Amino acid sequence: MAKKIIISYVPIRKWEVIAVITLISIILIVGIYYLHPSNIDWYKRDDFSFSNLLQFVFIDQYLIELITTSIISLLIVRYTSIFKIHTLQLNFKGISFYFLKFLPLFFIAYFFTSP
């Protein structure tokens, strides 16, 4: 019999957790895109400036994604309380079904958080 654990969704509602997760995600995505060999000459362009880069990353990307992450974390907490998704079996089948239970939420959330 696989061990069951109880999942607490309280930490994903904390402002600090949402801000850190969003910042890490943005840095990873922007880093992967801009450090890719096909895009490596972006800093040599005439219109490049460090202040423009900071504005793009922290205002144009981070703030928008911070709102999206906040909405999704709120939806996850509501979704799990409505459908009582609070336990997880620690085996392949249990973990697979756990993630499959969230697919409808993410399909619906996509239309509300996609630009």
pLDDT at 85: 92
Residue 115's contacts (CB-CB under 8 Å, 6 or more residues apart) are 64
pLDDT digits (tens, 9 = 90+) for 61-114: 899 899 988 989 999 999 999 999 999 999 999 999 999 999 999 998 888 787
pTM of the model: 0.77
d(CA 95, CA 85): 12
d(CA 52, CA 13): 31
3-state secondary structure of 87: strand
Closest by Cα among 112, 35, 14, 42 to 22: 14
Element spanning 65, H or E: helix 64-83
| Mean pLDDT in residue range 52-65 | 86
Residue 1 has pLDDT above 80, yes or no: no
Q: Does residue 115 or residue 18 have the better pLDDT? A: 18
Q: Domain tally for the chain? A: 1
Range of the domain at 64: 4-113
Q: Mean pLDDT across the chain, nearest whole number? A: 87
Alpha helical stretches, state H, 7-63: 15-34, 50-55
